[in-house]
Amino acid sequence: MNITQILFWFLSVVAIFSALMVITSKNPVYSVLWLIATFFAISGHYILLNAQFLAIVNIIVYAGAIMVLFLFVIMLMNLNKETEPQKNRWLKMAGAVAGGCLLLVLVAALKDTDIKQQQALVNEGNIGLIKNLGKELFTKYVVPFEISSILFLSAMVGAVVIGKKE
């Protein structure tokens, strides 16, 4: 078992454990912090796959911007106490069973596919570097890139319009 495999299993365990803590924490602030831990673990996976640009973007955009927005909203609403009302225990159990059944069905469907002889290249390969991605982004994908800037503009206008007082 070499260092790459050890890192893979470690990051997987961290990701799944912190994802479970996201949905079981009572306090929303703790949920946000565990979600940040999940994003860091997923960024570790990206680094392991040598997708360095996406690893950095994941940390900057998700852990840096989006999660700060979540924390800001939670603290703005003063939700940082355990305000979640007691709910029907059976409903909670039914949700867990439904999710577990989905996982079971998907794993059973995918465990014997012939894709499983394939390997994902770890630690090498230069398609994830910013040189290659930037060249592709500004030649082949330049129209979607510009359209996404319009999407950002409209989202910004929409957020301001929705969020302002009557």
Partner 1 sequence: MPINYYIFLALALFSIGIVGVLTRRNAIIIFMCIELMLNAVNLLLVAFSKMHYLKNAAADAMTTAGTDGQLFVFFIMVVAAAEVSVGLAIIVMMYRNIHSVDINFLNRLKH
Q: How many CB atoms lie within 10 A of CB 41?
A: 19
Q: How near is the Cβ of 42 to partner 1 at its closest, in Å?
A: 5
Q: How near is the Cβ of 73 to partner 1 at its closest, in Å?
A: 5
C-alpha dist (Å) from residue 44 to 6, 15, 30, 52, 74: 12, 10, 21, 10, 27
**Among residues 12, 75, 81, 142, which is the contact residue for partner 1, using CB under 8 A?**
12
Structure tokens at 19: 């994802």
Show the binding pattern over residues 85-124: x = contacts partner 1 (CB under 8 A), - = does not.
Answer: x-x---xx-xxx-xxx-xx--xx--xx-x-xx-xxxxx--
CA atoms of 146 and 144, how far apart (whole Å): 5
Structure tokens at 128: 């994830």
**Among residues 73, 75, 81, 142, which is the contact residue for partner 1, using CB under 8 A?**
73
Task: Kindly state the number of chain residues that form the binding site for partner 1, as judged by CB under 8 A.
Answer: 85
27 with 82: CB under 8 angstroms? yes
Instruction: Assess 33 for contact with partner 1 (CB under 8 A).
Output: no
Instruction: Assess 136 for contact with partner 1 (CB under 8 A).
Output: yes
